[in-house]
Structure 1
Amino acid sequence: MESPYKSIAENIYEKGYVVVDDFISDDFREELLQEQQEILAHGQFRHAGIGKGNEFQIKPEIRSDKVCWMDHLNLTPLQNHYWNEIEKIREKINQRCFLGLRSFEAHFAMYPPGSFYLRHLDQFQNVKYRVVTTILYLNQKWEPGDGGALRMYLPKCEGQEEIMDVFPKGGRLVVFLSGEIPHEVLPTLKERVSITGWLRDIEY
């Protein structure tokens, strides 16, 4: 049986994206979700913004989620376990795609009911080092009527796009090329939780 890490790398090479259901066990997902809830209860989440450095702005009309960044030098045991899983993906993508991925950054992301994030690319002028996006969903249960889908605009020939909606089912991992696939988070009707991260071609 082919390893999930090798399969992820092959899909990134061939299509630029992949969706993997049940990437982690349900017990591990539940533990990560509990840790996120505890961090949220301690007031460590902040309103997400757009731009970097001096250009950072909070624009709720563009995105209305809240985030809590993970410190790669001070990871909890659960976060370290997840980091190790991403490291296996990084190694396989580098072997297959020669992207020179060297580090990983990530945060818990929480979308309250009614929140969204308009269409955007994860790689822009000030973050060209973000090469591959990873999103792991932690929600307990999710139905299509709950909204909150990740809508990806997949490039097709002659400038056309194909729309693909991915619902934030718990344990589902989405991986895609940060600079090539525009995407948005459609309005969610209930709290939506994930770990969103980026494999980068720079060191920390």
Structure 2
Amino acid sequence: MPFIEPLSDSDLERLALERFVPALHSHGFYYADGFLGELAGGAVLEQVTDMHRAGALQDGRLAGSVPSIHRRSIRGDKTAWVTGGERGCEAVGFLLNLIDKLVSACARGLQSKTIRERSMAMVACYPGNGTGYVKHVDNPNGDGRCITCIYYLNKDWTLADGGILRIFPEGKAYVADIQPLFDRLLLFWSDRRNPHQVQPSYSSRYAITVWYFDSAERAEAKRRHMIAKQQGSSSS
């Protein structure tokens, strides 16, 4: 669904309620093209590539160690975490503000979810050396993450560049292959409904990801963490 001009608040609400919410209910994911437009999207890309050139991106972390398996065989990206308020991240901050408005509008149509907070933004680059990210689930254990949002920044991307995000929707007889095209915004459920993988990338592949939290699940996850921490302290 391409847009020519920057999206207004009414555009965002209409996009959320007429496109994203129905698709999340029926398919578990949806993407829109032309989210920021050429000028603003280009400014975000410039800031992200500046971060990369400055060495601000570090090897992506794994949630847990896997004996005898090298990290790069699981995920090969380099990442940095930003709020959007940092110097040199003004365009990223503008993007995050629009995504916040979009997801806030989506939340009004997702009555089973109360979404009031999100993660910091993860700026990521797959450096084009054939690395990807193996099939995984963002939130397999109820940590509160509800919606994954990914904004792609790759101009003139072709199938030969690889880097497709492949989603394996739970209970569906198909997979969804999503190219990481410039100015494309993708939303999908973060839980076990959407296992996904990043296929090997053969050109530098840039994206910005944020996760939005379901308030009730997030509070319960924090409660479990505190109990586990207290039990660990009492047993030591």
State TM-score, norm by structure 1. 0.88
Aligned counterparts of 1:24 and 1:131: Cα–Cα separation in 2: 23
Does residue 94 of structure 1 match 2:94? no
Q: Equivalent residue for 1:18?
A: 30
Aligned counterparts of 2:124 and 2:103: Cα–Cα separation in 1: 21
- Contact map agreement 1:9 1:89 (CA 8 A) in 2: no
Identity of aligned residues (%): 26
Q: Equivalent residue for 1:173?
A: 185
Aligned length in residues: 197
2:202 to 189, 192, 200: 189
| Greater relative contact order structure (CA < 8 Å, 6+ sep) | 1
2:151 to 136, 142, 147: 136
Structure 1: runs of 5 or more not aligned: none
Worse-superposed segment, 95-104 or 72-81 = 72-81
- Contact map agreement 1:23 1:173 (CA 8 A) in 2: yes
- Name the CA shift for 1:33/1:150 in 2 (closer, same or farther; >3 Å): same
Deviations 1:113-149 (CA, angstroms, capped at 9, x unpaired): 1110000001033x62111001111011111111110
- The structure with more strand, counted as a fraction of residues: 1
- CA-CA distance at 1:72 after TM superposition: 5.8
Q: Equivalent residue for 1:31?
A: 43
1:201 to 214, 219, 226: 214
Does residue 104 of structure 1 match 2:118? yes
State TM-score, norm by structure 2. 0.76
- The structure with more helix, counted as a fraction of residues: 2
RMSD: 2.2
Deviations 1:141-192 (CA, angstroms, capped at 9, x unpaired): 1111111100011223xxx541111111101111100002000000011110
- Name the CA shift for 1:56/1:77 in 2 (closer, same or farther; >3 Å): farther
Aligned counterparts of 1:165 and 1:85: Cα–Cα separation in 2: 25
